[in-house]
Each structure stands twice: as C-alpha cells, then as structure tokens.
Amino acid sequence: MIRISDGNRTIEVTPAEFPLALSLSANRDLLTGAEAEADASLWLRSHNDRFFLQPEPGGLPAHHNGEEIVGSVWLSNGDRIEIGDLAIDVRVDDGVFALVTVSSPPIEAARASAPSEVLSEQGPAVPTARAAPVKRFKSRSSGSRKYIVAAFVVPAIGVGFVLGASPVAITVEPSPSSVSLSGTLPPLPIGDRYLALPGTYKIRATLPGYRNLEEAVDVKFGETHSFAVRMRKLPGLLSVITKPDVPADVRIDGTSVGRAPLADVVVDPGLHSVSVLPERYLPLERKIEIAGKGQRQKLEFSLEPAWGTVRVTTDPPG
C-alpha cells in the first residue's frame, strides 16, 4: 500500500497504478497520477517490492537527500525529496510506503550548518610550504605527432560510425510537441531521421493532454528501421448527479465507483456505460463518450419513482 499526504488530503494508490507521476501545481501543491502527467517532474516506480524515482526530461528539477536527481534513485525510510521548493519525506512503517509533504526542508539547514561543525573539530590549519613549480619543456616534434594522429583517428571514427550505424525513422501519432531517441550510445540526428549503432534505445515523446510516451526499441546492424508509436490520451474526469438528490450506487461498465453525487471520477477515454441504482427509484443507464485529456464532463440522471400497484378488497364491497 502506498499513501501520499499533502496535509490537506491523503490518497492511497497501489503498484498497479504505476508508474505514478509527481509534479507541482500553480499553487506549489503536490500533484500525483493523471493530474500530474501533463507536466511531470518525477516518476515513482517499483521493482521487487522496492520503490525508486526517475526524472522526467525537461521537468522541474528535483533533489534526493540534497543531490539533484539525474537518474534512477532508490527510496528508503527517512529520505527527503525536493521538487522545486516543496519538501517530501519518505516514511516506511509496517509495510506501508508513504510520501508526506513538509513545510520546510531541514536538510538544507543542516547542510548549511555542517561546515562550521567540521571546522571546529579540525582545529587550526597547519601551514604548508609550496613546492617551487617545475618548468617542463615539450618538444615540438611530439606535439606535431599528436596533431597528425588526431587528423587520421577522428575521421576514421566518423567513417566507422557511419558504416556501423543503421538509419532509424520515428513516426508518432498524434504529432507530439517533442520527440527524442536516446541510448547508451547517442544516435546522430540527420533531418527527421537518426543514425544509430546497434543496441537498445528509448523513444520519448510529450504532448499536452496525452500520457508521456516512453518505449524501448532495438536497432540491429545493417537494417533500416521505421518505428511507429501512438500516444495515449490522459483520462477524463466525470461527475455524476441525480435529480432528486438521493443515495444511488453508480457503476461504470458494471463496476461500482461510489454513490451519487460523484465528482471528478477518473475514466479512460472512449465510450462507457454509466448506470445508477437508487433506492425507491427506477434504475437508469446511459452511454457517454469520455473525451479524455483531463477534460471534465458531467452526467445528470432524472429519476422516476418506482411506483407499486395496491389492490384493496372490502367486505361488503363498497
């Protein structure tokens, strides 16, 4: 179980919802999940029941225990995460992994005071004598040889790269605002294509209203590669109300999601069936096309009473 608390609310997520985006709102509050994916700073992931963070290229800079996060970092109890000026404590207790925002980052204060403590223990500095600089003389012939070797080696490396690299074309639908190809050996961009040596690479793409795309591809020697990938829309937010306002179980595609009235239920884009089952009213069902991209939609049900038929017999008849 994973809990995330920002002082005003606490949410619970499961590893099935990973990777989980983390970012800041305009008010410098912590955003998570779907609402954070459009402008993610970090991604929370899990492996073998352990949790780690990965930075989002181009996202807001983040730090782990005072050091900038530039790659994957494992998380442990007592760690401190900083996104911008927001500090987040990592707490692990009885199998529950928690991220809790705090008002001020004491790590910075401790870091600022640390130098004075170290100096007080060291005592006065011991003066040392500087050795006189030794003049070194380089022969002109050795320097010339280096330039000659470089003049042959650099072009040879370039020719070797071109001969060993394969052309790679990437098509992303819909057209993204940014797209990149990266790997252990950086590819060479040429126009709208790349030249890449054999190996595994990652295609990354971003587009407002869509999930950030990250897909691994393999480049093989001597082949021309054309990779086509499709970006997924962010979920939509659906609100369900009934008139009159009475308790009613709300189900989306047959799965109960709570009781009306409901606000901002996260629903994947596409056609969905929404039904309400109120007490003493007839059940209703409607279809709705969820636009996604974080857009809010509202569905209103006008309920009809579930009238019954009563027959009364009198003796004598009358």
Question: DSSP string covering the chain, please?
Answer: -EEEE-SS-EEEE-GGG-SEEEEE-TTS-EEETHHHHTT-SEEEEEETTEEEEEEPTTS--EEETTEE--S-EE--TT-EEEETTEEEEEEEETTEEEEEEESS-HHHHHHHHHHHHHHHHH-SPPP-PPPPPPP----HHHHHHHHHHHHHHHHHHHHHHHHH-EEEEEEEESPPSEEEEEESS--EEETTEEEE-SEEEEEEEE-TTBPPEEEEEEE-TT--EEEEEEPPBPPEEEEEEEES---EEEEETTEEEEESSEEEEEE-SEEEEEEEEETTB--EEEEEEE--TT-EEEEEEE--B---------SS--
Q: How far apart are CA 96 and CA 2, in angstroms?
A: 6
pLDDT at position 271 over 60: yes
Query: How high is the pLDDT of residue 146?
Result: 57
Query: Radius of gyration of the chain from Cα atoms?
Result: 31
pLDDT at position 120 over 80: no
Q: How far apart are CA 238 and CA 266, in angstroms?
A: 7
Q: Between 134 and 42, whose confidence is greater? A: 42
Assign 163 a pLDDT band (cuts: 50, 70, 90): low
55: CB partners within 8 A, 6+ apart: 41, 42, 43, 62, 69, 70, 71
Q: How many CB atoms lie within 10 A of CB 125?
A: 7
Q: Contact at 8 Å (CB) between 33 and 21?
A: yes
Residue 240: both structure tokens together: 């369900």
Lowest mean pLDDT among 36-50, 65-79, 214-228: 36-50
Q: Contact at 8 Å (CB) between 59 and 39?
A: yes
Assign 28 a pLDDT band (cuts: 50, 70, 90): confident
Domains within the chain, CATH numbers bracketed? 2-105 (2.60.200.20), 163-230 (2.60.40), 236-302 (2.60.40.1120)
pLDDT at position 14 over 50: yes
Query: How high is the pLDDT of residue 158?
Result: 52
Q: Contact at 8 Å (CB) between 260 and 276?
A: yes
pLDDT at position 295 over 90: yes
- The mean per-residue pLDDT over the stretch 65-75 comes to 89
- The mean per-residue pLDDT over the stretch 253-281 comes to 95
- The mean per-residue pLDDT over the stretch 67-83 comes to 90
Q: Between 274 and 58, whose confidence is greater? A: 274
